[in-house]
A and B are shown apart, each in its own frame.
Chain A
Amino acid sequence: MANPPLAAAPPRPRRKRPRSFTTERRPGFLVYGILLAFFLGSTYPLWYSLVIGSSDPGVFASAWPPLLPGGQFWHNVAEVFNTVDFWAALGNSLVVSSVITLSVVSFSTLAGYAFAKLRFRGREGLLVFVIATLAVPTQLGIIPLFMMMKEFGWTGSLGAIMIPTLVTAFGVFFMRQYLVDNIPDELIEAARVDGASMIGTFWHVGVPAARPAMAILSLFTFMTAWTDYLWPMLVAPQNPTLQVALSQLQSARYVDYTIVMAGALMATIPLLVLFVVAGRQLVSGIMAGAVKG
C-alpha cells in the first residue's frame, strides 16, 4: 500500500464511490428489457429440461415444441432411480467434493498466509513459481496419473478421484492476495512479542482474518470438484460421482431423452439449492477475483 504504515491499522472502511446524479441516472426500460431477455435465455434451458423431463416420449412427435411441463415427472424420476444408483452417486459427489474442498482450503490458507505475512528465504521465487503454475494445464497429466492409480491399485476408489485436486496453485495465490491486504503486520508482530508460537499466531490471527476468503474459496473449490467429469469418469467409473452417473443415463442402449432430462434436472437441484443459499457470495466472489476457468 502506498500510505505509510499506521500505528494500529484498523480494517479499512468500505468507501462508497461517490455517485453523481448527472451520470448516474436510473437507466430506462431498454436496459431492464435487455437484462430480462438475457435472464430468460439463461434460465430457458432449465425450463426446457423440466418440460421434457416431465413428459412422455411422445412429446417429440409433436410439431410444436411443448411449452408447459407434462405429468410424467415422477414416473421419469423413478426411471432415473431404476437406471442408475442416484443416491450413491450423490453421496460420492458429496464426499469427494467435501474432502477436496477441505484439503484445498486448509493447505491454501496455510501456504497463502506464509506467502503473505511471513518472511523466509526464497519467498519471492517460490511465489513466482506458484503464479507461473496457475497457467499450467495439469489435466494433461492424466496418463501418468492413471498409471499411478493403477499401480497402487486405487482405481475405482473415491480417493483416486480426489488425489489430483487436493491442492491448487490458484487457492494458494488467492489466499495470499487476500491476506496481504487484510492482516495488519502489527498484529502479527504483537502476537510474536507476546510470545505466541508461529502456529499459534496463524491460528489466532491468520485464520480469523482469512475466514471470508476461505468461504469464497470453499464455494468455488466445491463447485469445481462437483462439476468435474473427465477424471472421475476415467479412474472410477464403477464408483460414479453424480456427473458420471448422469452421463451413464445417456449411454444406455436406447436413449429416452425424457428420462435423461429428468436426470439432468435432478442432478442440477443440489447446485440450485447452493445457488439460492450462497448466490450472493458467488457473485461477490467472482467480482472479487475468485476466477477460475
Chain B
Amino acid sequence: MQPGPGSADPGPAEEENIFMSTLTNKPPGSGTGHLRRKARPASPTPEKLLEERHSGPQRRRHLFSRLDYKYSPYLYISPFFILFGLVGLFPLVYTFVVSINDWDLLGGAGDWVGLENYAAELSSPLFWNSLFNTFSIFLLSAIPQLVIATFIAAMLDQNLRAKTFWRMSVLVPYVVTPVAVTLIFSNAFDEKYGLINNLLQLVNLDPVAWKTSVFPSHLAIAAMVNWRWTGYNALILLAAMQAVPRELHESAAIDGAGMLRRFFSITLPGIRPTMIFVIITATIGGLQIFTEPKLFNASSSVPGGPDRQYQTTVLYLWDLAFNRGDFGRASAVAWMLFLIIILIGVANFLLSGKIASSGEKRAGRRPMRRGRNASRPGMTGKPAGGQDMTETRRRDHG
C-alpha cells in the first residue's frame, strides 16, 4: 500500500511535513524522537485522521497517543525479530542454498548440483556412522539420566531438613562447563593411566578401551552428559512434583496406598507433561552434541576417534566443512540433521499436546493453588495460549 521508496510520490515528503509541524506544535514532554520514529509506519492514517478531526493541540495529542499505542508494540518486538531473522533463521535457510551447490570453503559458490550432495551423504557410510553414534550416545545419556533424575527428584520432594542445601548440591555439575567436564572425564577414562581403568585393575578386571572401541567410548561420553545434566533435570522434575496436589497423596495414603504405589499412580502421571518437556530439550541438545566427542581424545588426529568410533553428526559436519572444506556436503548434513530434529520435535509436540489437554482437564477440577512462583513458562504452550485468550478478552473492555 505504501509508496515505494523509488517512486516519485510526494506522499512521504508531505507526511514528513505534517509530522514536523505537529511535532513543533506539540508541547514537548515525552521524547519527540521516538514518537516520530514510531509514527512513521502510519503513513496513510495521519492524513486521514487529520482530515476527520479538527486540528487543535488536544486532538493532536490524542492522535499521537493513538499512534503510540498502536505502533509501539511493533517497535518493541522488532529488534528480536530482525536480529533473529538475520542471525538465526536466515543462516538456516541459506544452509539449504549452500547444500544444493558444489560449494567450497576456499572456492566459494560452485555449480548448482541439485540434491546430489544429499544423495552422496545418504550413501556415505560415514554419515550413517555419525547418525548411529549420535543416537547411541543420546539414548545412553537420556534414559539413565531421566530415570535417575526422577529418582533424585522424588528424594528431594521429601520433607527434608536443609532443603535448599540439598537442592543446590545436585546443581554443582551444572556450573562446570562442558569443556572442563570433558577434560576431566577424558583423563579419568584414559586407557593407560586413567582412574577408571586403575580401579578396574584393582578389582582384577581387564582395562577397557574407553577411547578406541565403540560402545565403551559412547558410554564414557554419555557419562559426561549424565554427570552434568542429571541434577539440573532433577530440579525441573522436582518443581513438577511439587505442583501435584498433596491431597491426592493424602487421600491415597488414607486408602492404604504405600509410597511406591503413590509414586507410580500419582506422582508419575502428574509430572508427565514436564517429563515430555525434559525429553524434548534433551533431544534437541543431545542430537547436537559436539564438545564432548570433539575433545574426548586429544591424541586422535581424526575428530571423533581414530576410526570415528564416536564421531557424532555435528562433529562430522564440522569436519566436512572446516577440515575438508566441503561446504556443500556439510550443509546437506546440517539440513538432514535439522529435519530429523524438527521431525522429532513435531512428534513430541503432538504427543505433548494430547497430554496437555488431558492435563488441563485435571487442572480444571482442582482449584488454583500454585502460587505465583509455580507458574512455569516453558512447560507447554497450551496453558499459555489459554491465558492469552482471557487476556485479550479482558483488554477488549478497556
Contacts and interface: CB of A to CB of B under 8 A. Distances in A.
Q: Say if A and B assemble together.
A: yes
Nearest to A286: B235
Interface stretch (B15-23, B179-187, B204-212, B214-222): B179-187
B70 A120 contact: yes
Contacts, number: 387
A108 interface: yes
Interface residues of A, number: 136
Q: Is the interface of B mostly helix, strand, loop or mixed?
A: helix
B6 interface: no
A167 interface: yes
Interface of B: 30-31, 34-35, 38, 65, 68-70, 72-74, 76-77, 79-81, 83-84, 87-92, 94-95, 98, 152, 155-156, 158-161, 164, 166-181, 183-188, 190, 192-193, 195, 198-199, 201-202, 227, 231-232, 235-236, 238-239, 242, 246, 249-250, 253-254, 277-278, 280-282, 284-285, 287-288, 290-291, 294-295, 298-299, 314, 317-318, 321-322, 327, 330-331, 334-335, 337-338, 341-342, 345, 349, 368-369, 371-379, 381, 384, 387-388, 390-392, 394-395, 398
B176 A268 contact: yes
Contacts of A290: 378
Nearest to A169: B84
Contacts of A91: none
A289 B377 contact: yes
A288 B376 contact: yes
25 contacts: A13-B371, A14-B372, A17-B369, A23-B249, A42-B169, A42-B170, A45-B176, A45-B185, A46-B176, A114-B76, A118-B76, A126-B77, A135-B280, A140-B314, A142-B91, A144-B98, A146-B321, A195-B65, A198-B38, A246-B177, A268-B175, A268-B177, A280-B164, A283-B167, A293-B281
Nearest to B390: A1
A12 B190 contact: no
The 8 closest A-B pairs by CB, nearest first: A177-B377, A141-B91, A293-B285, A60-B193, A293-B281, A198-B72, A289-B376, A120-B73
A111 B80 contact: yes
Contact of A23 (B184, B253, B376): B253
B69 A271 contact: no
B373 A111 contact: no
Label chain A's interface by main secondary structure.
helix
Interface of A: 1-3, 5, 11-20, 22-27, 31-32, 34-35, 38-39, 41-43, 45-46, 48-49, 52, 60-61, 63-65, 107-108, 110-111, 113-116, 118-120, 123-124, 126-128, 130-131, 133, 135-148, 163-164, 166-170, 172-174, 176-178, 180-182, 185, 189, 192, 195-200, 202, 223, 226-227, 229-230, 234, 243, 246-247, 249-251, 255, 257, 260-261, 263-265, 267-268, 271-272, 274-275, 279-280, 282-284, 286-293
